[in-house]
């Protein structure tokens, strides 16, 4: 026991002398022991870092996926509402623009009506109505709205709405012989079917 203590003291003296010769300061033995104790304490695993059981890992994974699913569903719902709102705003803006231009046609009607009196001749009245009609037609064309050809065309249920059958010496059976209300289309979309009378051929 005395020999171990003497050996330890001799090592400490030799270490101190070597440190003094090199200019380094040797910490006391008790300080070294405290540092070693602190290092071992910080390296100990915490409760959060402890390894989970397979069941706990599965539960954690399920909870994570459920949270992700809820977030994704919420983001999609917000995106859907935003898209619908933008579409509504675009439709409303287009409608407002069209209605504003229709009001200009209404203004012309009102001006024409205000100038009609006993001295107005039929010629002037007709010219005024033609101007307004042409203005309205140009407005519809600007929005790609055009009349559907009906008279003399083969009856097409996709374009025409047959109101009655008529005898005709001009048009063969199954051909549109008269038009009671003009139909309109916008590009390939039918806005209103033409109301027509379809020829049933010559009377027997």
Q: How far is CA 115 from CA 6, 108, 120, 121, 125, in A?
A: 132, 11, 8, 11, 9
Q: Which residues contact 26 (CB under 8 A, 6 or more apart)?
A: 15, 16, 19
Phi and psi angles of residue 89, each rounded to the nearest 5 degrees, phi first:
-65, -40
- Position 30 scores a pLDDT of 52
- Position 128 scores a pLDDT of 87
Distance CA 159, CA 192 (A): 8
- Ramachandran bin of 23, using left for φ above 0, alpha for ψ from -120 to 50, beta for the remaining angles: left
pTM exceeds 0.75 for this model: no
* Average pLDDT of adjacent 10-residue blocks, the chain of 204 residues: 54 55 51 46 48 84 92 94 94 90 90 80 86 92 93 95 93 94 93 95 73
- Position 8 scores a pLDDT of 56
């Amino acid at each position: 026991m005395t020999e171990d203590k003497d050996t330890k003291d001799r090592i400490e003296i030799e270490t101190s002398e070597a440190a003094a010769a090199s200019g380094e300061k040797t910490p006391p033995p008790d300080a070294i022991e405290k540092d070693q104790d602190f290092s071992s304490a910080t390296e100990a695993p915490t409760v959060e870092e402890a390894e989970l059981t397979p069941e706990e890992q599965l539960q954690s994974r399920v909870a994570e996926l459920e949270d992700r699913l809820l977030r994704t569903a919420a983001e999609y719902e917000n995106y859907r509402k935003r898209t619908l709102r933008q579409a509504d705003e675009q439709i409303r803006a287009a409608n407002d623009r069209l209605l504003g231009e229709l009001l200009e046609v209404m203004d012309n009607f009102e001006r024409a009506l205000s100038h009609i009196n006993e001295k107005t001749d039929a010629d002037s009245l007709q010219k005024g109505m033609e101007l307004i009609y042409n203005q309205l037609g140009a407005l519809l064309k600007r929005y790609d709205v055009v009349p559907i050809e009906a008279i003399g065309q083969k009856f097409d249920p996709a374009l025409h709405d047959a109101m009655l059958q008529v005898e005709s010496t001009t048009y063969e059976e199954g051909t549109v012989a008269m038009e009671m209300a003009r139909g309109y289309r916008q590009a390939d979309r039918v806005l209103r079917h033409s109301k027509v009378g379809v020829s049933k051929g010559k009377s027997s």
